[in-house]
Amino acid sequence: MASEASRPAVDAMANPELACPISPVVDIVFSRWTTPILWSLNTFGRQRFVELERRIKGITPKVLTQRLRQLERDGMVVRTYHPEVPPRVEYEISELGRSLAPLFGHIAEWATTNLEHVERARRHYDDAGAPRG
């Protein structure tokens, strides 16, 4: 195996000890509400606060603000303030955020082929699969 510093990314799947190397990414990218936000910004382009609020069904302004701030801090989205009356704020995905697109594509692909397997497993488990022992 290669050294820690020069190890190719794929080798991470075989990296022993300690926590799994994808946990940090999960914290950044896959927190609640972040994927719909990134998805919306990536799909529909630059949007205002209300547009996002309306698009992302069920989110409250407080939570939307929190997540947008976090995503802005992490460099995933860019916030632009226009000092007008009424004020106008636009959010757009950054280059760093856009680099997640292929990843999201892979996840979507996994979903289309495997989500039904999960559903099936759940039904099977709920019918008779409760753990014995």
Partner DNA sequence: CGGTATCCCTTCTGATACTG
Partner DNA sequence: CAGTATCAGAAGGGATACCG
Q: Are 33 and 24 in contact (CB under 8 A)?
A: no
User: What is the phi/psi pair of residue 80, to 5°?
Assistant: -125, 120
Nearer Cβ to its own copies (3/16): 16
* Nearest-angstrom CA–CA distance, 93 and 80: 11
* Nearest-angstrom CA–CA distance, 50 and 114: 34
86, 126, 127, 128: which one contacts its own copies (CB under 8 A)? 126
Continuous segment of H or E residues that includes residue 124: helix 101-124
Stretch that binds DNA, among 8-16, 18-26, 83-91, 116-124 (CB under 7 A): 83-91
46, 88, 120, 123: which one contacts DNA (CB under 7 A)? 88
Q: Closest separation between CB of residue 109 and DNA, Å?
A: 26
Q: Closest separation between CB of residue 34 and DNA, Å?
A: 9
